Amino acid sequence: MLGQNLLDLVSSTRRAPKIPTFAIALAVTAIVALPLLFRALDPVPIDTGPAADSDGLVLAFGPEDTKPLDEQIVTGSIRISFRDPIATAVSFSLFERGSSDPVFATQDLDGPQFDLIRDAAGNPEPLDSTELGDGSYELFITVDTPAGEKRTAVTFLVQNS
């Protein structure tokens, strides 16, 4: 009996009742969609390799007076630094948002306090943001550690006018 009913459905000689068809469609949708939904809502991030802590990239106002650079509005002279006790070097690349050409790139080999700009004697110097146009900027850093490289990026807004 079941074989004949199945054969009738497959050969299209008889129409399937709406409720069983709907139940089958719902079950197939659940089997396909639920795993995708759980994967999308999974709080465990996908491992994309080592990343530096972007909170370590700060605006430095004094030895202990700092705040994270990410999403800040900056004006005038600003000192940007990154602190990492095990890093051996930090490379900085500053881009106007959306540009593929860096405004400038530097490397600091003198840690654990690594600065965006240093003078000839190795002392930290501020960045004069008035020399940059107003707008959004991205700062990418590469941190060299004994375990390998780590990278991170932050964005900030220059607003001098």
Q: What is the pLDDT of residue 45?
A: 45
Q: What domains lie within the chain, and their CATH numbers?
A: 2-41 (no CATH), 54-158 (2.60.40.10)
* Nearby residues of 67 by Cβ (< 8 Å), 6 or more positions away: 58, 59, 61
Our measurement of the distance from residue 67's CA atom to the centroid of its chain's CA atoms, rounded to an integer in Å, reads 19
Q: How far apart are the first and last CA of the chain?
A: 83
Q: What is the pLDDT of residue 21?
A: 66
Q: How many angstroms separate the most distant Cα atoms in the chain?
A: 93
Q: What is the pLDDT of residue 102?
A: 93
Residue 156 contacts residue 137 (beta carbons within 8 Å): yes
Pairing of strands 148-158, 72-74: parallel
Is the pTM above the cut of 0.85? no
Q: What is the pLDDT of residue 47?
A: 41
User: What residues of the chain score a pLDDT lower than 70?
Assistant: 1-23, 25-28, 30, 32-57, 59-65
